Structure 1
Amino acid sequence: MPTTITPPPFTTARLDALPLDPAYAEEMAVVLADPALYVFTGGGPPDPAALRARYERQCAGSPDPGELWWNWVLRVGEDGSLAGYVQATVRGPRAEIAWVLGTPWQGRGYASEAAKGLAAHLASAAGVRELVAHIHPDHAASEAVAAAAGLRPTGEWEDGERRWAANPPPPARAEKA
């Protein structure tokens, strides 16, 4: 498993996943400004200063040396706007993942594309073999994203959210000639 605090970037067909940087706080505060984004998770829209402070903590990394906090903002290739984020807490071969897309970018398949790209990236860049997400049982859109990324609901619950899990295939290895 890599030990770098800063995750490597990755791309999908329509998105660039860029390592989180506090400099994105002001633009991301606009992306995350709709109170509807917090119906299932609680809380409310962060102001730019609070978001910058959060990003500084996240970029500093986990205080646990065996755990990586990898966070990316999602830039739409077509117009260059930031649209949301994906994140992974990586501990050995297991990663807990999450995603959030700003309201204007929802319904376009970006979240599913980002989650699939994240799953593939974690398998190849960090050797992740188990993915986990926790999803509110009434959040059908997040359930659809999890399913698109290959996760399935389990019978386990935590803080009112259902645990979804997957074991992605190992990354393809190059054949030697």
Structure 2
Amino acid sequence: MPTVSYTLHYCYAVIATERLRLLPLRVEHAVRMAEVLSDPSLYTFTGGEPPTVEALEARYRRQLAGPGNEDEQWLNWVVEYDGDLIGYVQATVTGSTAEIAWVIGTAWQGRGFAKEAAQGLFTWLRAQRAQEIVAHIHPDHTASAAVAAAIGLAQTGLMTDGEYLWSTADPA
């Protein structure tokens, strides 16, 4: 019997939740997103520093160009609330597995936006037939761990580059 493998191909869509709209990334978002991402505390667990508008424009061009690998897709959205950009969500899709991440600017944290945006992305990916959804989270980042648990991910015992793997698959 032949082995069947497939790669999911996603079409960008606006994803709407109760309060948010996840808008497909555009280079033009860089000006506003540089402001949203300007607080150095956002990089406590991930490293790095706030990006300039120029650095974000270059990053967004690379992200929109994609990985150049047929087996992988980069999907990126900015998070809009009440007409303002407040963060982003993203998914790297390889085969039927999607690795997701989310960032909400500090001015909008503590209001459930990260959970709502991540849940919107998770639900959309499931509707696109993603079989496994994963995230990597620093062990001290309790807010992101709470978001991951709330959307249905479970922490596994696997750690890579100082971050735990959270997954929809049964924990190891």
TM-score if structure 1 supplies the norm length?
0.89
Q: Does 1:16 align with 2:21?
A: yes
CA distance in 1, matches of 2:9, 2:155: 30
In the TM superposition, 1:2-151 aligns within 5 A as 2-4=8-10, 7-76=12-81, 79-125=82-128, 127-151=129-153
Paired AA for residue 130 in structure 1? E
Alignment match, 1:154: 156
CA distance in 1, matches of 2:80, 2:115: 14
CA distance in 2, matches of 1:89, 1:128: 11
Matched residues, number: 163
Deviations 1:109-145 (A, max 9, x none): 00001111111100113x1010110000000000001
Gaps of 5+ in 1: 168-177
CA distance in 2, matches of 1:43, 1:107: 22
Percent identity of equivalent pairs: 55
CA distance in 2, matches of 1:116, 1:13: 11
CA distance in 2, matches of 1:3, 1:98: 19
Deviations 1:60-118 (A, max 9, x none): 11111111100000000xx2110000000011210000000000010000000111111
Paired AA for residue 73 in structure 2? L
Paired AA for residue 119 in structure 2? K
Gaps of 5+ in 2: 1-6
Paired AA for residue 131 in structure 1? I
| TM-aligned CA deviation for residue 24 of structure 1 | 0.2
CA distance in 1, matches of 2:123, 2:20: 14
Alignment match, 1:164: 166
Query: Which stretches of structure 1, 4 residues or more, deviate above 4 A after TM superposition?
Result: none
CA distance in 2, matches of 1:7, 1:145: 23
CA distance in 2, matches of 1:135, 1:15: 23
